């Protein structure tokens, strides 16, 4: 039996953490390196946590070996688990997400996974906070590769090892809110559905060559139909 695999981005697509991630990164950077506002003006949308950290370290002139990066990761996860409980701007699920995931979970030939720049543990912290973790069967994360383009094949391979195989690359759909989400879908020969609920509007996302551009994921029936269109 073949499946359709839907790979969701997290930030700006499923939810916004109300800048909990930003606050946790910033606190960690200050604690470990003594540098305030380490992540201000560093581009984050669509980037992997690994590349965001590298950019912040370079700007601050901090040389961090692998052990220091590992310490950063551990402390960041601890602080995110704390920060996620506090209010913040636009914190919450994107419209329609809960109903859509609930509906998709009842489709026998569909499996939902994640392709996110978040490190794996922070991804789980965010999704568990919003009670979405149970919907996702596999994923590829910011610790798996420094650039997003490499993540889709990793997620698809993990799915295959779990017995979730696709007939062709076009049966993989990447759902995300940035041009880099579209780009990583294209790189893998997957279909891309771009949603304008994050940092980019519909016009900007249309320019990326996404197969489908949506204002949001609110119309469950219409979105499911689009997601299940045959691969090309």
Q: Summarize as ranges the residues that interact with Mg ion (CB under 5 A).
A: 9, 11-12, 177
Contacting residues for 159 by C-beta, under 8 A, at least 6 apart = 3, 5, 111, 113, 137, 138, 165, 166
Residue whose CB is less far from Mg ion, 3 or 49: 49
Cα dist. 105→98, 100, 112, 124, 184 in Å?
Answer: 11, 9, 8, 18, 24
Residue whose CB is less far from Mg ion, 34 or 43: 43
Smallest gap from Cβ 62 to Mg ion, in A, equals 26
Residue whose CB is less far from Mg ion, 26 or 118: 118
Residue whose CB is less far from Mg ion, 12 or 122: 12
Smallest gap from Cβ 199 to Mg ion, in A, equals 8
| Residue of this chain nearest to Mg ion (CB atom) | 12
**Cβ contacts of 152-159, under 8 Å, gap ≥ 24:** 152/7, 152/115, 152/184, 152/185, 152/187, 152/188, 152/190, 153/188, 155/5, 155/7, 155/113, 155/114, 155/115, 156/5, 156/188, 158/113, 159/3, 159/5, 159/111, 159/113
Residue whose CB is less far from Mg ion, 98 or 182: 182
Smallest gap from Cβ 184 to Mg ion, in A, equals 11
Smallest gap from Cβ 200 to Mg ion, in A, equals 9
Smallest gap from Cβ 198 to Mg ion, in A, equals 5
């Amino acid at each position: 039996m073949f499946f359709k695999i839907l790979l969701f981005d997290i930030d700006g697509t499923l939810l916004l953490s109300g800048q909990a991630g930003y606050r946790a990164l910033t606190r960690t950077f200050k604690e470990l390196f003594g540098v305030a506002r380490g992540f201000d003006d560093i581009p984050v949308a669509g980037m992997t946590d690994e590349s965001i950290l590298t950019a912040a370290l370079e700007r601050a002139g901090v040389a961090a070996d692998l052990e220091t990066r590992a310490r950063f990761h551990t402390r960041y996860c601890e602080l995110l688990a704390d920060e996620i409980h506090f209010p913040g701007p636009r914190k919450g699920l994107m419209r329609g997400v809960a109903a859509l995931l609930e509906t998709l979970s009842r489709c026998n030939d569909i499996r939902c996974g994640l392709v996110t720049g978040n490190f794996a543990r922070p991804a789980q912290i965010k999704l568990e906070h919003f009670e979405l973790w149970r919907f996702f069967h596999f994923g590829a994360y910011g610790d798996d590769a420094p650039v997003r383009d490499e993540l889709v094949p990793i997620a698809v391979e993990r799915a295959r090892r779990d017995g979730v195989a696709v007939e062709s690359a076009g049966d993989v759909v990447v759902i995300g809110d940035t041009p880099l989400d579209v780009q990583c879908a294209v790189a893998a020969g997957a279909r891309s559905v771009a949603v304008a609920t994050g940092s980019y509007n519909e016009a900007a996302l249309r320019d990326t060559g996404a197969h489908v551009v949506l204002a949001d994921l609110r119309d469950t029936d219409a979105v499911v139909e689009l997601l299940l269109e045959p691969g090309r």
